[in-house]
Amino acid sequence: MHRFQSFVFCACVAGVLSCVPGSLHAQDELDQLGRTCDAGNPTACLDLGHAYFYGGRGATRDLTRAAALYRRACEAGHAEGCHQLAVMLDGGMGVSRDADLAVTYYEQACDGGFVVGCHDLALMYESGEGVPLDHARAAELFQRACDAGEATDCYNLGVMYANGIGVAADPAAAASYYEQACDGDNATGCQALGMLCFEGVGVTQDQARAVALFERACDGNEAESCYNLGVIYEAGYGVQADSARAAEFYKKACEAGLEDACRGTR
């Protein structure tokens, strides 16, 4: 007969290391999180909120309870808790929909260093959903998120500078933000910068660099860049014409969902 050795299970719950026998159950973990939250640990309140929001860790999904826990986390200074509560208020999940209050909590999240809060608040000002339309304010918030390393928001800023939305039009600034986005592995940023390089807008015209940027974007499943490469290799713009390679790129663009590239798959 085989005998199984007993073991000790150690888990870190909201920064507190607990070692208990291997019979640890999901409810034990939830109870521990609850006690740690009640003791004033905002991360425990956030984690417990996640458990009830997603129905994880053995918890039954309960959006009302999740919202209350996110509120506690936020009030204790956890910026992500403020963001989660804002999302719930914005969407009317577990609470009555309140766009004005959602803005307040998005701002707290952003000011607390949770940059997704800056991004979401910028989108509200950009669309005028729940707040007065304010492109200048959106640009400020995208700037904060971009400065914190959010590549998508660097791209968003590039679009605003390219088109003079909320800021003075500045093709060179647009190129700089697209480059930051591309360096952050945002394929759309690589595509946009590639177009500027190909046309010589805001940067010195450099078709070889444009090709390299389109290839990087195409590798990131940016269909338009795959299509551009098909055109470039078919016509021989800055490269040796190569119909076979052009066909490969048209096929990739088609597979990525660009219908114009699917006509006869070239």
Which pairs count as long-range contacts for 252-257, CB under 8 Å and 24+ apart, including other chains? 252/218, 252/223, 252/226, 253/218, 253/223, 253/224, 253/226, 253/227, 256/221, 256/222, 256/223, 256/226, 257/223
Which among 28, 31, 75, 71 is positioned nearest to 53, based on CA atoms? 71
Residue 129's pLDDT band, with cuts at 50, 70 and 90, is confident
What's the pLDDT at 10? 45
pLDDT at 80 over 50: yes
Q: What is the mean predicted confidence (pLDDT) over 89-113?
A: 95
Least confident of 14-23, 51-60, 123-132: 14-23
What's the pLDDT at 27? 84
pLDDT at 131 over 70: yes
Please say whether the beta carbons of 99 and 130 come within 8 A: yes
Mean of all residue pLDDT scores within the chain: 90
pLDDT at 5 over 80: no
Output the six-digit token pair for 145: 């998120």
Q: How many CA atoms lie within 13 A of 9 on its CB side?
A: 11
For 133-150, how does the pLDDT look when each residue is reduced to its tens digit (9 = 90+)?
999 999 999 999 999 999
pLDDT at 21 over 70: no
What's the pLDDT at 161? 98
Tell me the pTM. Answer: 0.83
